[in-house]
Chain A
Amino acid sequence: MSAHVSVSGLRVTVAAAEGGRAAIVDDVGFAIARGEVLALIGESGSGKTTIALAMMGYARQGCRIDGGQIRIGETDVLALSAAGLAGLRGGRVAYIPQSAAAAFNPAQRLMTQVTESARIHGLLDRAAAERKAIELFRALALPEPETLGERFPHQVSGGQLQRITAAMALISDPDLVILDEPTTALDVTTQIEVLRAFKSVVRERNTTAIYVSHDLAVVAQMADRIVVLRHGKMQEEAPTAQLLAAPAHPYTRALLAAFNPPVRAPDAPPEAAPLLEVRGLVAGYGPAGRDGMPALPVLHDVGFTIPRGSVLGVIGESGCGKSTLARVIAGLLPAARGNVKLDGAELPARVADRTRDQLRRVQIVFQSADTALNPARSVRDILARPLAFYHGLKGDAARKRVDALLDMVRLPASLAERPPGALSGGQKQRVNFARALAAEPELILCDEVTSALDAVVGAAVLDLLGELKRELGLSYLFISHDLSTVRSICDQVMILYFGRRLEYARSGAMLVRPMHPYSDLLIASVPEMRTGWLEGAAPAHEATVVRNAAGCTFAPRCAAAVPGLCDSTPPPLRQLSKGAEILCHLDEATLRHTQPDDRKTP
């Protein structure tokens, strides 16, 4: 079979700060046969999106395609005029963007936008285009396909919007579809539905596609072949199964290792004295009502215990209240009800009412290292402040201590005089962590600390966290949306869903079946690093927010929900035999029955 799409010697440059141009994509070449899906995989800065956009002869502001050849069928893309390119885009080559929410024009109805490219290129008349759009909506398993197009983007959920982008791309039966990280911004249970829909339309229509992603497990479900990129250069190209089974390039092996962090056995003795005890926490935003409840409650009756020297993982999807929990414990957001005890002594709700020593013992580290460090101050100043504030350390003693802290987080002392802007993402997050360590805390609240980092960098930061915990006897409250991250560092986990603690699994009972149906769904939704996983995964229900539901919050999405019970009565707290506590109407035997064992536990 001759190549349908071929790229050779592609070079894209960007204006360099010191003058001249620097290559961000260099000498990249590959070929795709008709009906084949090729994945471009790499971390941030690998040039994968730049290559994808170059397939349409498009370069973002400041970038320029400087060399090489791109052929789609008989067309030499880089030789086309501006008008020729406009004719190509949306017609013969279509693009599915990462953030559907941003890619839709808020002022236009969905149907107008979905059919736009077919109408611009004169491929279909209006009626035919709308018929085809409805057909695509149906193929993508979208609800109410007949009337969906009448809506505006903000009236549709994120997962649905992302699927509609596929309809928008496929309306013109393109020769090539480019999917640019189309599920990265989605929650894991939403992602699986979108992936399933994408895969079925791509396969059904024998579409030729380029799938751009940083996530090998996702790519394993979609692609026939994988190209691994790093710093704009190709590292390895191989069929998917072969690349996963026998990676040839060391970088590919590093990537694979980072995706499969070793599961460690919980090592904190469960009988250790409790360091942090949280009971019946209720918190939220907005003015408090007459009953003391906030206008926008986020956390409902959340409680847990962190034994000294252990790590509690808090898992949940966006909006579940996990960051709010960290803010309440840190004293940034006073709780409406409930209490927080540190070492047996009650912590005042507000920062202002806590003693300096209480403040010192609990530190917080945020997700985005970029905004967590003051850009106007040097690393040394940033680290010296908690030393002076909590320990009165000044001058030479402070200098030495800052150097020691940098060493502790495996950073060279030469970084101390630099501003945060001159550091890489991973280095910033280490400085962030060093600042927390400077206080000599007992508990560190880690809010998605590795989520903004590339997998390899994140894995290294995670290793560091583990080492420091053992060396210094620290405890963590580790917040994440990513199960494999939590699995590799935590001793116990708590699963939040719309502010309710659906499952609380202590040591030994962590993420083993039977479990809460939501936990089961979460685990089953995480893509596994093998081909064919998607086909075997169980279908998930669309996420829906149910306000003031009398019954279980999760009931509308629960595959095992009992009508008349789960949707009307609040679920009881249930103790499972292996030590987990869940909020569920179903007993252990029923749960065991609904959770088949042939699904692997991660």
Chain B
Amino acid sequence: MTFKAIILVGGPSRGTRFRPLSLDCPKTLFPVAGHPVIWHHLEALSRVDGLREVLLIGFFEASVFESFLFDATREFGDKFHIRYLREYRALGTAGGIYHFRDEIQKGDPQHLFVLNADVACSFPLNEMMSFHTTHRGLCTILGTKVLPEDAHRFGCLVAKPGSNEVLHYVEKPESFISDLISCGIYLFDVAIFNTMKEATQNKASQIALDPYTDSDDKLQLEQDLLRSLAEAHKLYVFETKDFWRQIKTPSSAVPANALYLEQYAQTFPERLAKSEPGGPQIVGAVYIHPTAIVDPRAKIGPNVTIGPRVVISKGVRIKDSIILDNVEIKNFACILHSIIGWDSKIGNWTRIEGTPVINHQTIITHNGVKIQSIAILSKDVTVKDEVVIRNCTVLPHKELKSSFHNEILM
């Protein structure tokens, strides 16, 4: 059997909820656990036998992915080709796939993985594959259980007990339908292109009949395809008990980072830092880039990623945080539940602190103002000695000379 995989990367007009970090880096390339978000997708795909090609589909300029594709080809090139296909405009999640149907079907793959870029997941792709061969559907969707009160943020699935056929699919319902939700990861038979053709024609005729309809001409996987697949008894769900997270807001990058680091601890413990004589004190899962310099008197972890060329001085404490490239953290600073943006500088005895993300709640309301629960410092933010920055989101190129609490700093 041969496969192809598609990663839906979106475009610059998407991902505004990932601001301010997306002002300097598209969400899909934001590093979690030391690697860009979609690198983790590629790594999972590299474990699927018979995978020939991975296509990134989106509407970013091609230059955005140039250096990522260069690095990824070097790392995964012996397993599969990687290309970026750019939509001439946003065509919708299924629209882009349908538009590039000829490219995708080149080489006659029988199956197609489609992965949303904005998820962190253990990607049990081989398990999905085995399950897919046991049913007669066109699509296997990866599902996971969430807390009932969180279910309404996602696409909800009602599955038939026993067969796991999806009886009903609703995107972000207002009321409670099910606590089983779609992970945004699919395995299709190539015959899906016929269904897409029908869906495209249906949509066109609908718009022709009713020019005042609310729906646009974008073809969405979730609304336009999955529903009709479910009605045709062609949609099945494979439920994973493993980890899954959506990466929408900057705050969600921190739990995603933690989950990947914990996965490393199970699967690739050699990727993680260890406490060694003469080295910093390491607690739990911590990734430190080989070019970073960490003073032996620092205490790091759990759930910390320290990026390239970062310099961390003595007596620094970092926990549940992502420290991006080239950051400098001076003596005795304390950084908790935060993302520190590229080239930022943190002063002596300075404290940067966010609020832990609980369940999928990445936005907290403080005095009626909605803010990111994680403290977010964007690119090139300088924070003076001895101040405290709590629950703040700081836009790029700022200098902070005094303490701030619960604010967005423009």
Whether chains A and B associate is no
Q: Taking beta carbons and an 8 Å cutoff, which residues of A are in contact with B?
A: none
Give B contacts to A, CB under 8 Å. none
